[in-house]
Amino acid sequence: MKASTIKILIGLSVSCLIYSCANMGYPTGGAKDEIPPEVKECNPPNFSTEIEGGKVNIYFNEFVQLKEINEKFVVSPPLDRKPTVNLRGKSIYVDMGDSLKPNTTYTLDFADGIADNNEGNPLGNFQYVFSTGKTLDSLSIQGHAVDAFTRLPIEKVQIYAYSNHQDSVPLTTIPDYVAQTDTAGHFNLSNLKAGTYKIFALVDGNRDYKYNGPGEIIGFLDTLLTPTAQTFQKMDSIMPDSSALRTYTAFSPADVHINLFEEENPLLYLTKYARTRREKLDFEFSFKRTDDLKIDFLDVNSDASSFLIESNNRRDTLSYWIVDSNIYKRDTLTAVLNYLKTDSTNQLVSFSDTVKLNFKAPKKAKQTKKQEKKSKIKKPVYEFKTNIKSTQDLNKDIEFEFNEPLAEYNLDSIQLVKIVDTLEFDVPFEFVKDSALLRTYHMNVKWESEMNYRLDIDSTAFKNIFGLESDAFTKKFKTKELEYYGKILLKVDQVHKPLIVQILENNKNETLIQSKKIYSDQTITFDYLEPKTYIIKVIEDWNDNGKWDTGNYKLKLQPETIHYFRKEIKVRSNWDVEENVVLPQAH
């Protein structure tokens, strides 16, 4: 018995020893490599002069990879053909061909397109510079490029410098120098010759170094720039008790600011037409219209009373509701369209076009006789929807959107009541058509705080242009209490031109909450604000048309200036917040 016990104990001991050895684990590999690759050698050496060939080898201390190199790699001045960039072990080989210009300084800008092969640590803003002449040009122009409307930096914007100052060069000529913005919108046109330059910015989709008109994002400076370099000396401390006189070079300009924008497309033409339902014709255009589309049907008697014209907010889509049943009952309509269109000389001219507008009713799903007996024929009704929720804001009206144009309404069939305990009281209201949208109406009411309401709409209250009547509608809701809202009292100083002052919700979409127009220094009250966080946006409305306008290169119009005041303004319920913004001095 003892011998058996001893054998078992020995066996367990051996098993534990084996298990322990088998579970010793693996090495963790040490700390993560966060060191970028290093350039060990360049052939020819960086900053070489009198270079004749167009081939460069760059050697590193480790294997590297190229990341988005086709987008990030920029050669300035641009070459006649795109250079090739290839990996060769621990080196990069660049072939620029044989089109190098004499006595020219070239900059090969890799941005952050070179990284180590294991962890992807970028080398960051590496440039290789050489000259085909005896000297290296060293002047520079630095700055930032931002979206004119959002004021946010734009990455991968091409910045062009031209020694030719004619207005047409961005449209017809490859620039003398080119740079590209980084993620912060910063650019550096480096290694420039002495001279004066015209500056242009472009999100160059097809990489042809030319502006191809609306559809590409552009920016330009109103003035020419002359880069300079100025040396100065400064005492610098090299030890706690000693200092040395050092020489520095300051390059100018170093704070150029370019606003990028997309021009409105001036080319006006018909892009699409459709007849998705029997009584409605839709026409889409390339740009907003200032005129109406005129329609003449062949073999059908029609006049202005046969239609109702509806436009969307952008005025680039026009819809024609056919009122006359003699017209819309036809499956095929042949019409002559008369409208303004851009011709080959970019002028608006009257244009006629004959089109066929067919309507094909959708096929009905087949039903068995049993299904046909059970199915009930639904009486068609005039449909609408409202923006009523369970809780109504005190500063907003009730909005009605009808699915078809409204022909008539009966106010006696619409009743709005407030409910106090068990008593009901009629509430006066105005029912008005929206000034821009054909099928939208507003019920304007002076709401009382924290009050129960009910809206009752009888059937036949609304009738559309085809004689259909609406169904009955009832909705109960309650208004918010006045103390729920807060206010911003905004003092605006140094107003030199018409301004549009906006309160935006500080969220991802920067939702517009309220907008007000001012012409002089004053304090603006933004009330009925929900307890949230807001920011301020100010638009310089140069032409006083109540909206932001983009730029136009041909007309030398910059986009209207926008100022963002991104300080967070926290609004609390039943609380007034006082804020002050000061506009920059007018130039």
Tell me: do 221 and 310 sit in the same domain: no
Residue 17: its pLDDT value, please?
Answer: 41
Tell me: do 118 and 158 sit in the same domain: no
Name the residue with tokens 């962890």.
Answer: 119
Distances (CA, A) of 343 to 20, 262, 364, 507: 86, 22, 45, 44
Domain final residue pick, 205, 229, 253: 229
Tell me: do 293 and 281 sit in the same domain: yes
Tell me: do 87 and 46 sit in the same domain: yes
101 domain residue, yes or no: yes
Domain final residue pick, 86, 101, 131: 131
Domain span at residue 96? 39-131
Strand partners, 318: 283, 311
Domain final residue pick, 197, 212, 229: 229
Give the model's confidence band at 19: pLDDT under 50 very low, under 70 low, under 90 confident, else very high: very low
537 domain residue, yes or no: yes
23 domain residue, yes or no: no
195 domain residue, yes or no: yes
Alpha carbon 22 to chain centroid distance? 59
168 domain residue, yes or no: yes
Q: Please write the tens of the pLDDT for every residue from 206-233.
A: 889 999 888 899 999 999 999 999 988 8
∠ CA 280-283-285, rounded to 5°? 160
- Write down the pTM of the prediction: 0.81
Tell me: do 499 and 471 sit in the same domain: no
Strand partners, 567: none
365 domain residue, yes or no: no
What are the phi and psi torsion angles at 492 (to 5°)? -110, 125
CB–CB of 37/64 below 8 Å?
A: yes
CB–CB of 525/489 below 8 Å?
A: yes
Tell me: do 496 and 464 sit in the same domain: no
> In the numeric block, which tokens belong to residue 510?
């920067």
CB–CB of 179/188 below 8 Å?
A: yes
Nearest-angstrom CA–CA distance, 109 and 126 = 6
> In the numeric block, which tokens belong to residue 495?
């107003």
By DSSP bridging, strand 280-285 and strand 317-322 are: antiparallel
Give the model's confidence band at 31: pLDDT under 50 very low, under 70 low, under 90 confident, else very high: low
> In the numeric block, which tokens belong to residue 42?
């360049």
Tell me: do 114 and 143 sit in the same domain: no
Q: Please write the tens of the pLDDT for every residue from 473-486.
A: 999 999 999 999 99
CATH number for 448 = 2.60.40.3710
CATH number for 90 = 2.60.40.1220
- Number of folded domains in the chain? 5
255 domain residue, yes or no: no
Strand ranges (E), 298-386:
307-311, 317-322, 332-342, 348-358, 384-386
Give the residue from 416, 392, 400 showing the smallest Cα distance to 477: 392
CATH number for 535 = 2.60.40.1120
Q: Please write the tens of the pLDDT for every residue from 58-93.
A: 999 999 999 999 899 999 999 988 899 999 889 999
Q: Please write the tens of the pLDDT for every residue from 519-555.
A: 999 999 999 999 999 999 999 999 999 999 999 999 9
Tell me: do 425 and 346 sit in the same domain: no
CB–CB of 271/301 below 8 Å?
A: no
Give the model's confidence band at 241: pLDDT under 50 very low, under 70 low, under 90 confident, else very high: low
153 domain residue, yes or no: yes
CB–CB of 57/91 below 8 Å?
A: yes
3-state secondary structure (DSSP) of residue 369: helix
Give the residue from 512, 539, 515 showing the smallest Cα distance to 149: 539
> In the numeric block, which tokens belong to residue 96?
């620029």
Statement: residue 171 has pLDDT above 70: yes
Distances (CA, A) of 576 to 271, 481, 569, 571, 579: 51, 16, 11, 8, 10
Enclosing H/E stretch for 491 = strand 486-493
3-state secondary structure (DSSP) of residue 418: strand
Tell me: do 489 and 567 sit in the same domain: yes
